[in-house]
């Protein structure tokens, strides 16, 4: 049979168990608003009963706490991280497309229309007195002003591309930082769990980092658990290992030696692993913020780049809109030059070898022919000067090009407006997608919180329950003490 003081031991174990439960509940309450915190529970069970060799068999020996564990559903974690990847990709596209749209805002449209009209108004003024050097200079100045305005739009887009490039580098650094932290946490988790305890807070911290990493790039995780409690945790991106338990690999950015598109800014980054393999975040099966950045930075809507070894990105990014500006300028300058070179200058000489616009291969832009700029008399205003210096039939044909259908099936004045509409449609599409994934994130997070979140009402009930458990166990000890007092003092045991 158990010893005389056996009941005191049972009461003591009850107090210890109640105390642990109260502490766990208090910790839950304290972390109700802690990001990524998983509600914890203490698992308790009856201790091993004693064989007392009596008719009633075995007798209970009390209660013990076996573990403190976190309540979390990994299925919701995976779904949340997958959604974060799509959200990161679409929110990045929306943010930077909105900035591109802002570059082509109403002010730009109005500015384009004003510069374009000024150029053609100068043609009309020159037609009134084709022999005037003053009107010729005015015409040249407005032509140059129009080119500079279009170049300003291209420059703004290239500055946007530089910002995107810097963000690519920042995101690569973030991936490396997360990889280092997670690998360190893997080691800390094993140090704790090899003792038989659960590293709840460390696992919560790792889960938060994985949520944040998944927004930058799509990840897959796996964990192998051994009999001794040791775990091996791995993270892959795009089929390549980023984290292998305590070890991790890093990504690097490398400036391109050659431009993929002629008007790309110098020094755009490609991404590669520290061991030399290139990493392409736009390839199939990879998403996230990094993919969105690369698409906006490099996307030319599937147009084959100059380097045939480079896979074109089927997305309308900065290079696409720069190419649209280039196509317009090619068509505009070509149309004007064709007419201009078909005429004669003020002295009756052929302008066949004297274009108004030329392309500067060094500056990568169209400029006014320096000869024409220095000698306005080289401008052609008539096809044949036999009728006099004031003849202006060529100028009339030049003015007709203002409303010509020569720019992607529309007039020049409709060109930029159609481009703005194109950007607006893409921006709205990505905004809608971003909102959809944002709503899905809220739904999944609510499902996750239904499992891992702290419910203050439930915790309040637990406090009352375990307080009562503590009181009753204390009362057991108190009653037992009275019994033993009687037994010892009054029976002389």
In this structure, what are the phi and psi dihedrals at residue 236, rounded to the nearest 5 degrees? -120, 150
Which residues make beta-bridge pairs with 459? none
| 84 within 8 A of 286, measured Cβ to Cβ | no
How many angstroms separate the CA atoms of 11 and 13, rounded?
A: 5
Ordered by start, the domain boundaries in the chain are 6-71+455-491, 74-452
423-429 average pLDDT score: 90
What are the pLDDT digits (tens) for 101-143? 888 775 566 777 888 889 999 999 998 888 889 999 999 999 9
| 64 within 8 A of 45, measured Cβ to Cβ | yes
Say what the pLDDT of residue 106 is. Answer: 55
**Quick one: pLDDT band at residue 258, thresholds 50, 70, 90?**
confident
What are the pLDDT digits (tens) for 458-469? 999 999 999 999
**Quick one: pLDDT band at residue 3, thresholds 50, 70, 90?**
low
- H-type helices in 313-455, by residue range? 318-340, 370-374, 393-400, 412-452
Least confident segment among 56-70, 288-302, 367-381, 389-403: 389-403
Say what the pLDDT of residue 309 is. Answer: 62
Say what the pLDDT of residue 7 is. Answer: 82
Asked whether residue 301 carries a pLDDT value surpassing 60, the answer given is yes
| 194 within 8 A of 156, measured Cβ to Cβ | no
Say what the pLDDT of residue 130 is. Answer: 84
Asked whether residue 167 carries a pLDDT value surpassing 60, the answer given is yes
How many angstroms separate the CA atoms of 291 and 416, rounded?
A: 28
How many angstroms separate the CA atoms of 291 and 283, rounded?
A: 9
Least confident segment among 231-245, 386-400, 429-443: 386-400
How many angstroms separate the CA atoms of 272 and 274, rounded?
A: 7
Say what the pLDDT of residue 436 is. Answer: 96
Query: Shortest CA distance to 321 belongs to which of 420, 432, 412?
Result: 420
Sign of the alpha-carbon dihedral angle for 485, 491, 492, 493? negative
Average pLDDT, the chain: 89
What are the pLDDT digits (tens) for 307-322? 666 667 888 999 999 9
How many angstroms separate the CA atoms of 309 and 258, rounded?
A: 12
Say what the pLDDT of residue 228 is. Answer: 85
Asked whether residue 410 carries a pLDDT value surpassing 70, the answer given is yes
Which residues make beta-bridge pairs with 251? 273
- H-type helices in 194-222, by residue range? 200-216
Q: Is 61 exposed, middle or buried (0-12, 13-18, 19+ CB in 10 A)?
A: middle
How many angstroms separate the CA atoms of 223 and 194, rounded?
A: 15
- At 236 the three-state DSSP class reads strand
| 186 within 8 A of 243, measured Cβ to Cβ | yes
In this structure, what are the phi and psi dihedrals at residue 58, rounded to the nearest 5 degrees? -105, 155
Element (H, E) at 61: none
**Quick one: pLDDT band at residue 457, thresholds 50, 70, 90?**
very high
Least confident segment among 22-31, 360-369, 385-394: 385-394
What are the pLDDT digits (tens) for 168-199? 999 999 999 999 999 999 999 999 999 989 99
Q: Find tokens 């921006």 and name the residue.
A: 427
- At 3 the three-state DSSP class reads coil
Asked whether residue 385 carries a pLDDT value surpassing 90, the answer given is no
| 48 within 8 A of 60, measured Cβ to Cβ | no
Least confident segment among 227-231, 275-279, 417-421: 417-421
Say what the pLDDT of residue 108 is. Answer: 62
**Quick one: pLDDT band at residue 389, thresholds 50, 70, 90?**
low
How many angstroms separate the CA atoms of 404 and 60, rounded?
A: 99
How many angstroms separate the CA atoms of 493 and 491, rounded?
A: 6
Q: What percent of the chain has a predicted confidence (pLDDT) above 90? A: 65
Query: Shortest CA distance to 292 belongs to which of 216, 359, 357, 230?
Result: 216
**Quick one: pLDDT band at residue 286, thresholds 50, 70, 90?**
confident
Q: Is 306 exposed, middle or buried (0-12, 13-18, 19+ CB in 10 A)?
A: exposed
**333 contacts: CB under 8 Å, gap ≥ 6:** 356, 357, 359, 366
Say what the pLDDT of residue 104 is. Answer: 77
Q: Find tokens 């800390």 and name the residue.
A: 188
Say what the pLDDT of residue 246 is. Answer: 95
Say what the pLDDT of residue 435 is. Answer: 95
Give the Å distances, CA to CA, from 222 to 231, 235, 245, 284, 452.
10, 7, 10, 21, 20
Asked whether residue 290 carries a pLDDT value surpassing 80, the answer given is yes
What are the pLDDT digits (tens) for 331-352? 899 999 999 999 998 888 999 9
């Amino acid at each position: 049979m158990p010893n005389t003081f056996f009941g005191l031991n049972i009461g003591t174990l009850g107090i210890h168990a109640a105390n642990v439960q109260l502490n766990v509940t208090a910790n839950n309450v304290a972390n109700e608003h802690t990001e990524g915190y998983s509600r914890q529970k203490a698992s308790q069970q009856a201790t091993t009963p004693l064989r007392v060799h009596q008719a009633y068999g075995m007798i209970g020996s009390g209660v013990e706490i076996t573990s403190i564990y976190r309540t979390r559903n990994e299925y919701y974690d995976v779904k949340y991280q997958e959604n974060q990847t799509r959200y990161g990709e679409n929110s990045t596209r929306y943010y930077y497309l909105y900035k591109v749209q802002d570059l082509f805002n109403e002010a730009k449209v109005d500015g384009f229309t004003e510069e374009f009209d000024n150029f053609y108004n100068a043609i009309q003024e020159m037609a009134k007195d084709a022999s005037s050097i003053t009107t010729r200079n005015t015409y040249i100045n407005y032509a140059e002003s129009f080119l500079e305005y279009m170049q300003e739009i291209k420059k703004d887009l290239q500055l946007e591309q530089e910002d995107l490039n810097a963000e690519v580098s920042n995101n690569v650094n973030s991936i490396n930082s997360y990889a280092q932290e997670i690998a360190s946490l893997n080691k800390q988790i094993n140090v704790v769990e090899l003792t038989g305890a659960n590293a709840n807070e460390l696992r919560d911290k790792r889960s938060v980092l994985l949520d944040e990493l998944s927004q930058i790039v799509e990840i897959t995780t796996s964990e192998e658990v051994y009999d001794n409690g040791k775990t091996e945790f791995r993270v892959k991106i795009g089929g390549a290992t980023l984290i292998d338990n305590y070890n991790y690999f890093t990504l690097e950015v490398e400036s391109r030696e050659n431009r993929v598109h002629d008007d790309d800014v110098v020094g755009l980054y490609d991404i590669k692993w520290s061991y030399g393999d290139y990493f392409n975040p736009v390839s199939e099966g990879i998403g996230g913020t990094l993919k969105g950045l690369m698409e906006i930075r490099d996307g030319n809507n599937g147009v084959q780049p100059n380097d045939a070894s480079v896979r074109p990105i089927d997305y309308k990014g900065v290079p696409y809109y720069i190419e649209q500006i280039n196509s317009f300028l090619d068509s505009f300058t070509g149309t004007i030059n064709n007419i201009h070179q078909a005429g004669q200058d003020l002295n009756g000489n052929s302008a066949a070898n004297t274009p108004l616009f030329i392309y500067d291969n060094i500056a990568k832009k169209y400029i006014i022919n320096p000869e024409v700029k220095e000698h306005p008399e080289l401008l052609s205003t008539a096809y044949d000067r036999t009728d006099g210096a004031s003849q202006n039939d060529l100028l009339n044909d030049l003015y007709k090009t203002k409303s010509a259908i020569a720019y992607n099936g529309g007039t020049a004045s409709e060109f930029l407006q159609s481009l703005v509409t194109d950007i607006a449609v893409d921006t709205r599409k990505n905004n809608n997608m971003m909102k959809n994934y944002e709503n899905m994130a809220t739904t999944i997070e609510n499902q996750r919180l239904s499992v891992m979140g702290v419910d203050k009402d439930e915790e309040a009930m637990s406090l009352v329950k375990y307080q009562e458990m503590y009181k009753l166990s204390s009362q057991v000890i108190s009653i037992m003490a009275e019994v033993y007092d009687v037994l010892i003092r009054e029976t002389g045991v």
